[in-house]
Each structure stands twice: as structure tokens, then as C-alpha cells.
């Protein structure tokens, strides 16, 4: 069986106590830490930026999986790399020149992720699949935690996984939004190997992170 990773989103953490929340995630067995960066322009919500990421960086060795929902993204990529991002994921709609943004992330020695909104087709990123590390499939419209999983996303995951297998490509398939104990099995069976989760990780079972990570992994 393939290894499943969980990337808890700190969007649902206690923002007044992020240092401790990061430590709880590490102790609870998080494989990655998902950081949702929003600009109130590309998405209708505002969250955190590079100073907060760099302040947290020293409190854990767990890789930071930084999801940039900001536009134009290109001029800020370096700031997130310097702040301590390990994976930098961008949306193709948020940059004028996707190939140069990908090149920049690589030059900064970070892993490259490309994210697809529910209405964005795989075709938009197809030619880059050979050269990136991860595809982040949005299973909600980005902007807020706690939304309902869009079921038709499962077909997109399957389609992407088929392309990956046919061409023997290596990128990770990460899925983000509305993942819970009821649908995580479907998401994994469709081909995802990294699941993002905010609400389920921090709110279910009274916020028992270890238990929630295990349950999402079906372990």
C-alpha cells in the first residue's frame, strides 16, 4: 500500500497560540504542516504572511507546506522561501508567467506545487507535470476552512492519477478542502497520497490530533 501523508492546515488552529499548536502537530505525527496564505484579493479572506511563518519555523522540523492563495504571486515567492517554506504551491491563475514562477521556486531550492481550483482543468498544468513535485487539487473553492467537500473532485483526482501512472511520473497528489473521516477513503482510493485537513484535525475528537491523523490515514 502507498504511504499516505497528512498535512494539517493551521487555518483551523488556535491563532493566539500557534507556537504550541505547531508542537502539538509534531507530537501528533503530522507529516507536513499546511500553511494557508490568503491575500483578500485572489481569495476573499486574509490570513498570515512571511513574518509569522519565519517566527514558527524554529519550533518544528516538520516541513512547511505553504499554499499561496495570493496574486500576483511571483514577486512574493522569494519571501516565502526565505521565511522557511519547504513546499511552495501556487495557483496558475495567480502568475503571468507560470514557467518562470516554477523556475524561481526551483532556483530557491524549494519543492514546487501547482494548485487546481475546482473549475480549473488539468490541461492548464499538463505540460509542467514532468517538472514539478506536487499537484494540489482543491476540493472546495479556496478561501475558508470548514466547507463541504465537492464530490466531483474525485473524478479529477482519478484522471490526474491515471496520467501520472501512464507516464510514470513522480509528483505527489495532494487534496485540500472538506476532508473528513467519511470521505478520506474515497480520496485515497482515487489516487491522493497527501491529505490536507483543518477542521477534522483540530476540531474532531476534542482536537485529539494523533487520533485524527491516524483515522484520516485509515491506519
What are the catalytic residues?
Answer: 36, 176
Least spacing, CB of residue 196 vs Zn ion, in Å: 5
- Out of 198, 209, 215, 216, the residue judged to bind ligand DX5 by CB under 6 A: 198
Q: Measuring CA to CA, which residue among 38, 34, 37 is closest to residue 25?
A: 34
Give the residue with the Cβ less far from ligand DX5, 71 or 169: 71
Please report whether residue 11 would count as binding ligand DX5 according to CB under 6 A. yes
Q: Burial letters for 104-140: b for 16+ Cβ neighbours within 10 Å, e otherwise?
A: bbeeeebbbbbbbbeebeeeebeebbeebbbbbbbbb
- Out of 4, 116, 157, 179, the residue judged to bind ligand DX5 by CB under 6 A: 179
- Out of 80, 178, 191, 192, the residue judged to bind ligand DX5 by CB under 6 A: 178
User: What is the sign of the dihedral through the CA atoms of 11, 176, 116 and 86?
Assistant: positive
Please report whether residue 145 would count as binding ligand DX5 according to CB under 6 A. yes
Q: What are phi and psi of 182, to 5 degrees?
A: -80, -35
Asked if 173 and 193 count as a contact pair (C-beta separation under 8 A), the reply is yes
Please report whether residue 71 would count as binding ligand DX5 according to CB under 6 A. no
C-alpha cell at 135: 499537484
Q: Measuring CA to CA, which residue among 61, 16, 34 is closest to residue 142?
A: 34
- Out of 83, 102, 176, 187, the residue judged to bind ligand DX5 by CB under 6 A: 176
Least spacing, CB of residue 165 vs ligand DX5, in Å: 26
Give the residue with the Cβ less far from ligand DX5, 102 or 137: 137
- Subset of 20-39 contacting Zn ion (CB under 5 A): 36
What single-letter DSSP state applies at residue 13? Answer: S
Residues that bind Zn ion (CB under 5 A): 36, 67, 176
Amino acid at each position: 500500500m502507498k504511504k499516505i501523508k497528512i498535512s494539517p492546515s493551521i487555518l483551523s488552529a488556535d491563532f493566539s497560540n500557534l507556537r504550541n499548536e505547531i508542537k502539538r502537530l509534531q507530537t501528533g505525527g503530522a507529516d507536513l504542516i499546511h500553511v494557508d496564505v490568503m491575500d483578500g484579493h485572489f481569495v476573499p479572506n486574509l490570513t498570515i504572511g512571511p513574518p509569522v511563518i519565519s517566527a514558527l519555523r524554529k519550533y518544528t522540523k516538520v516541513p512547511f507546506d505553504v499554499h499561496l492563495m495570493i496574486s500576483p504571486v511571483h514577486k512574493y515567492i522569494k519571501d516565502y522561501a526565505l521565511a522557511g517554506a519547504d513546499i511552495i504551491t501556487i495557483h496558475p491563475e495567480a502568475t503571468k508567467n507560470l514557467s518562470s514562477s516554477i523556475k524561481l521556486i526551483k532556483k530557491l531550492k524549494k519543492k514546487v506545487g501547482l494548485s487546481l481550483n475546482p473549475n480549473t482543468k488539468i490541461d492548464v498544468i499538463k505540460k509542467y507535470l514532468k517538472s514539478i513535485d506536487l499537484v494540489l487539487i482543491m476540493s472546495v473553492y479556496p478561501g475558508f476552512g470548514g466547507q463541504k467537500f465537492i464530490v466531483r473532485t474525485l473524478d479529477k483526482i482519478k484522471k490526474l492519477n491515471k496520467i501520472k501512472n501512464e507516464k510514470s511520473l513522480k509528483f505527489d497528489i495532494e487534496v485540500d478542502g472538506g476532508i473528513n473521516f467519511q470521505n478520506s477513503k474515497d480520496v485515497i482510493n482515487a489516487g491522493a497520497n497527501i491529505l490536507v485537513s483543518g477542521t477534522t484535525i483540530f476540531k474532531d475528537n476534542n482536537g485529539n490530533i494523533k487520533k485524527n491523523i491516524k483515522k484520516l490515514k485509515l491506519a
